[in-house]
Amino acid sequence: MTTERTFSIIKPDATRRNLTGAVTKLLEEAGLRVVASKRIHLTRDQAEEFYGVHRERPFFNDLVSFMISGPVVVQVLEGDNAVAKNRDVMGATNPANADAGTIRKELAESIEANSVHGSDSLENAATEIAFFFTSDEIVG
Ligand code: ADP
Ligand code: MG
């Protein structure tokens, strides 16, 4: 077991439905610890840069519009194998394909409005954490 940090976003569909606590409860029950958290409203520039890897995908413009449609909660999560553990508790991108008990199966609205983002590698986690947090904002 290796203690890792990963990056999570509670997306606008979840904050709109007042599910910040419900999402966080599932994260905590999975063994992840919230070591940094803030509620922010992404700018279009921030959302476009954050999702830059998807710039050529047909859903990119809709995704950016969705991500700036309301507040989000950005978080740093810590735990054993936190990157994989978070991806497990998130569930599949399309909630229709997600396993029972996962955040996306239980809470998400659609393949786009799927309630959470989670880093897909330790390297991307470090980049994404640094995009939103300074080291003094992370208290383990
Ligand atoms: P994940 O969030 O599971 O890592 P991706 O990185 O592939 O998934 O996609 C990033 C986000 O883009 C997804 O979480 C979802 O909000 C949106 N998205 C992905 N695929 C589609 C799609 N086919 N149609 C609409 N939105 C999508
Ligand atoms: Mg992804």
CA 72 from centre of chain:
9
Instruction: Mark the ranges of the chain whose per-residue pLDDT is less than 50.
Output: none
What is the CB neighbour count within 10 angstroms for residue 111? 14
CA 136 from centre of chain:
21
- pLDDT score of 1: 78
Confidence (pTM) = 0.98
User: By three-state DSSP, how is residue 90 classified?
Assistant: helix
Query: What does the buried/exposed string (b/e) look like for 11-28 if buried means 16 or more CB atoms within 10 Å of the residue's CB?
Result: bbbbbeeebbeebbebbe
Which is the closest atom of ligand 1 to the Cα of 113? 16
What is the CB neighbour count within 10 angstroms for residue 129? 24
Pick from 70, 72, 89, 60: which is nearest to 9 by CA? Answer: 72
Q: Which residue, chain included where needed, has tokens 């989670």?
A: 118
- pLDDT score of 35: 99
Active site residue 41: no
Ligand 1, pocket-test mutation among 8, 63, 66, 94, most atoms within 8 A of CB: 63
Rg over CA atoms, the chain: 14
Which is the closest atom of ligand 1 to the Cα of 11? 16
Centre of ligand 2 from the C-alpha of residue 121, in Å: 9
Using CA of residue 55, residue 43, residue 88, residue 81, what is the dihedral sign?
A: positive
Proximal ligand: closest to the CA of 116: 1
**Tens digit of each residue's pLDDT (9 = 90 or more) over 22-39:** 999 999 999 999 999 999
List pocket residues of ligand 1, CB cut-off 6 Å: 54, 59, 63, 93, 111-112, 114, 117, 120
